Amino acid sequence: MPADHDPISRRRFLEGSAQIGAASLLAATPAVAAAAADQKLGFFVIGDWGRHGAHHQTAVGRAMAAAAAESDPRFIVSAGDNFYESGVTSIHDPQWRSSFEDVYSEAALQRPWHVILGNHDYRGDVEAQIDYSKLSHRWHLPARYYTRTKTLPDRSDAEIFYLDTSPFIRKYLGTSTRIEGQNPHAQREWLDTALGRSTARWKIVIGHHPIYTTLGGAGHDQPDLIAAIEPLLRRHRVKLYINGHDHTMQYVEMGGIAYVTTGAGSETYTPGPASRTGFVSGAHGFLACAATKDAIGLDFIDSTGRSLFRNTITAA
């Protein structure tokens, strides 16, 4: 398994955030974890996973199930690239079983999955992924982009905005990633309006592609989203953007916004040196989140169940 990189930056984050304590979804004992979960909105995020169980996909699924059995997250988010290499062909594609149902089969994972699309999903039948929502008790993809509001135990709200980022990426035009016919301008207007009218304590935006990354530069940061989406995040005071696509786990803060990459659900790579202060790892794993009125705890968990990096985002 690849080793973590940029240890100095990682230590700074760990020292600066001290102990995430009860904000961590993985507490010391099941009893403590259950008590902590009662006080928070917990959810997991996994990206870039659908490989018939290969490339550590099954191991990550088991680690996620073990964590879910202890902390009882309310839902799981798929950050896109749900099926490799070319999405699904229909609602009857055998990949629904080999890459989803049979991999994430544990009882602890039989909870709502809120799904977005990745660029590999655009190589197949996108409508089939939307239509599968009618057949599955846990697969929730009502549209290419949408929003959901969740109530925290203290009765405050967290609103999550699920984006369809592939249509914003101009290099996909004319390729096997078939984004033709989609209107990114309409989606941007929708997001601007939805963020503006939201009264939620937390506004969390999730898209498949990164905006900023710890690694930085070409192939990691996404200029098309920096131009289209980042100004909206700043304008509407979004504190957290989560994405997949880059097959790593990364955390970086830019302009008061935490940009979190969790694209390590199956195949990963060994990342090079970080160009920004933050955290990056090529380990296989997922992201655990726990929101209260005043803070969101973030915890990267690898395929062995080990916590690699924790940090807390505050509302102030």
Q: What is the pLDDT of residue 38?
A: 65
Q: What is the pLDDT of residue 15?
A: 34
In sequence order, what are the residues at sequence separation of 6 or more whose Cβ sits closer than 8 angstroms to the Cβ of residue 42?
A: 25, 71, 72, 73, 74, 288, 289, 290, 291
Q: What is the pLDDT of residue 137?
A: 96
Q: What is the pLDDT of residue 213?
A: 98
Which of the residues in the chain have pLDDT under 70?
1-38
**Rounded (5°) CA angle 203-5-73:** 35
- pTM of the predicted structure, to 2 decimals: 0.90
Q: What is the pLDDT of residue 146?
A: 98
Q: What is the pLDDT of residue 27?
A: 42
Q: What is the pLDDT of residue 26?
A: 42
Q: What is the pLDDT of residue 9?
A: 38
The answer to whether the bond into 180 is cis (omega within 30° of 0) is: no
Q: What is the pLDDT of residue 39?
A: 80
